[in-house]
Structure 1
Amino acid sequence: MSDTALREQICLLAKSMFDRGLTGGSTGNISARTVDGGLLVSPTGTSFGRLDPARLSHFDASGRLIGGDPPTKEMPLHSAFYDTRSTAGAVVHLHSCHSVAWSMMPDVDPDNFLPPLTPYAIMKLGRVKLLPFFRPGDPAMGDAVRGLAGKRSAVMLANHGPVVAGKDVEAACNAIEELEDTARLAMLLRGVPTRMLSDDEVADIVTHFDVEWDT
């Protein structure tokens, strides 16, 4: 994909998520690999609803800012995924309401954040790791992702928001939306007797769709 087309796609997908309330105000950030190994990143303090393709932060393959506005302060998160997952072509971070709410529930499994309600979160995300709370912009968030050694494509920052890496920007956006949808289902069903997928059903999905399922 050309640089121009990628810039347009980043802004189009970001606006779609903003317009549907998946992140508000100037929250959230998004990045994608360019064909030459560089990065395009949403600038600091910008809104997903009003990103300007021409002003996206542009890094070369060595990590040097060569164009656009200063990048998001959450760059350590993005860099950690790119450095530890060779398949990462894009990273998205949202402040999506239901996933943040689910991260505050006291009985959530930190090693497998999402309950097995539907097959789709399993297929698109694998196991999601719940990380502890960090101050926004704290480089320790990146360190925590690096500590997973590339074994997870998605993490949930407690009381903050999800971060997902995908093979490209469309895949990353689709996956993070699935994360939010599953968290919404979990909140809607909280306290209600619910038939979740069984261990055998989860194992069948993992095997059939060749899902990364770190144990």
Structure 2
Amino acid sequence: MRLLLVEDSVALADELQGNLSRHGYAVDWRTDGRDALYQAQIEPYDIIVLDLGLPGIPGLEVLAQWRREGLGTPVLVLTARGSWAERIEGLRAGADDYLTKPFHPDELLLRLQSLLRRAKGLPNQPTLKAAGLELDESRQVVQRGDEAFALTAAEFRLLRYFMLHPGQLLSKQQLAEHLYDGESERESNVLEVHVNHLRRKLGRDVIETRRGQGYCFTGVAR
């Protein structure tokens, strides 16, 4: 999942980037409100983590402008201030959730997971379930019936995206844009390699190839 992290604290951002990357997020990092305002408008992010105390343009103003311009990406706001007045102001500006500093990294991950599922109209359950598969996002293990399969980091990122979009036709370009950050190479043959790895583990027909169009996740193994 592609994530925009907007945080001006280098130490905190480094920590968050490492943790988020280990849990399957492709992270782009911006430190200034002006850069963040522009960045979210030119790239297809799945979710945004936004600090309020930013240089350039304050976080609440950035958020309000995103919403005025029709950006519907879920936004989780980070703040060092926990007043009810500020929370209400942020929710009115369009925040989807709030997290007050300091916070535990696992809480951030769970809140992001919840927001992503809500955005896709899925229930917020302990595991992600779709098309006969059950994905444990914390352990990066997928289960089908009584069989469990450990996933590499790349396989996990790809399968999670498929399971959040069951039955949908996903082009190679769309998958690349949502699975890799702005600094990564997005070669289609890399995607094909990881798709084939998933097929070997889960069954060749779990992911259908639509020639010239992309892939469709069905979860049906034959």
TM-score by length of 2: 0.30
Whichever structure has more strand as a proportion of its residues is 2
TM-score, normalization by structure 1: 0.31
Larger gyration radius, structure 1 or structure 2: 2
